[in-house]
Amino acid sequence: MDLDDLISMEQIRQLRYTYSWCYDSGDLDGLVAVFTPDAVCGFGPYGTWTGHDEIREGFRESFEATGVPGTTMHAVTNPVIRVDSDHATGKWFLIDLILGPGEQNPLRIVAYYDDDYRREAGQWRIARSDIRFIWTADTGRVLPDEPMEKLSGT
């Protein structure tokens, strides 16, 4: 790993943090901007969105359904990022909280993001993001018999 890789890793961390801030603050334009124009977002049972137009519409509908802004907090942690020139991969844990009035247990989702990133014109963007649910407030443990995938090379 060299200095350029470390700089790229920090830029990718900031990209995923920006995603979370944009979602939680209801910044739809900022949220769409973290993705490449041909990005693919997989949200398990909630569908897959491809390209900026579908991503914008999907998040707009999600904002309406959850009352964003002001009702969610996406906390991302424990990133494992691997850089290979202008491409990179990353995995992140997600703790998703609902902050509505009267919430007795704000924990909504425990999951992880499985991402591919691409650097275009000097800027890192998310090219593919799949969320893998581990636990949800609605259903409990989502992967009862399936272990989380292992990271190769660690």
Read off the pLDDT of residues 12-30 as tens digits, 9 standing for 90 and up.
Answer: 999 999 999 999 999 999 9
Q: What one-character-per-residue DSSP string does 9-41 give?
A: HHHHHHHHHHHHHHHHHT-HHHHHHTEEEEEEE
Closest to 92 (Cα-Cα) out of 69, 121, 118, 126? 126
Q: What one-character-per-residue DSSP string does 27-81 give?
A: -HHHHHHTEEEEEEEE-GGG-EEEHHHHHHHHHHHHHHHHT-SSSEEEEEEEEEE
Q: Where are the domains of the chain?
A: 3-141
Single-letter code of the amino acid located at 151:
L
At 61 the pLDDT is: 94
Number of Cβ within 10 Å of residue 16's Cβ equals 22
- Altogether, the residues listed in the chain come to a count of 154
Classify residue 118 as exposed, middle or buried by CB count within 10 Å of its CB (0-12, 13-18, 19+).
Answer: middle
* End-to-end CA gap in the chain: 14
The SS3 call for residue 3 is helix
| pLDDT above 90: residue 9 | yes
Share of the chain above pLDDT 70, in %: 92
pTM of the model: 0.90
Read off the pLDDT of residues 108-126 as tens digits, 9 standing for 90 and up.
Answer: 999 999 999 999 999 999 9
Look up the CATH number of domain 3-141.
3.10.450.50
| pLDDT above 50: residue 154 | no
Read off the pLDDT of residues 45-98 as tens digits, 9 standing for 90 and up.
Answer: 889 999 999 999 999 999 998 888 988 999 999 999 999 999 999 999 999 998
At 1 the pLDDT is: 85
| pLDDT above 60: residue 40 | yes
